[in-house]
Chains A and B, each alone.
Chain A
């Protein structure tokens, strides 16, 4: 158990809909990262937050957005869903932005199916 929690575990929805995925980082971790994992694209970094502020953006679509709240939990919002958005979405957390790159600790993921 990494200490990172994600809800829900599974999500099934229809095209055009909007969903929210939630992540609670490990106790003490200030950075949260979101990833998308699909069979054809592999593991794709979406976005990173540090202590409530956006720090880095990866291959995140404009239909997707995220935020990190004062209690450090984070939410990933996916809107106008398309079939191709079906994937596993992982959240990861790390301690802080220090001089070295710290490991990231992953949650169990949310499996999104868009029908």
Chain B
């Protein structure tokens, strides 16, 4: 069945460091891919999305490119800030019922 695999956390970085959080997927057909972020004490927020191969989603300095050949959707940011400390979830949307398949989440802590 469809699945999403995210790199395990926690990830700890210093401010202004480069961030990569890996996400790979298994799916039949042509899924849509999403990154969500959950700040401490809050609900999940959509960060970015891509709906077809080679699409690049971007928001708030974060980017992810839908790579069909490697079945990946890695999240990147060139220079992280303390305020980026959160849990990041990769999700895949496919199938007739359109529900999302979620990764386990990757916790990011950015130190000043």
Q: Which residues of A contact B (CB under 8 A)?
A: 2, 4, 33, 42-43, 45, 48, 55-56, 58, 90, 92, 97, 100-109
Contact = CB atoms under 8 A, between A and B. Distances in A.
A105 B93 contact: no
A55 B44 contact: no
A90 B44 contact: yes
Given A42-B105, A43-B105, A103 B46 contact: yes
Contact of A45 (B36, B51, B99): B99
Interface string B29-54: 00110101000001111100101000
A51 to B, nearest CB: 13
Nearest to B93: A101
Contacts, number: 50
Contacts of A109: 42-43
A45 B43 contact: no
Given A2-B43, A101-B98, 4 more contacts: A90-B43, A100-B51, A103-B34, A108-B42
Given A42-B105, A101-B32, A101-B93, A48 B99 contact: yes
A43 B43 contact: no
Contacts of A45: 99-100, 102
B99 A106 contact: no
Contacts of A104: 46, 100
Contacts of A92: 44
Nearest to B34: A103
B102 A42 contact: yes
7 contacts: A43-B104, A45-B99, A90-B44, A92-B44, A101-B51, A104-B100, A106-B36
Contacts of A105: 46
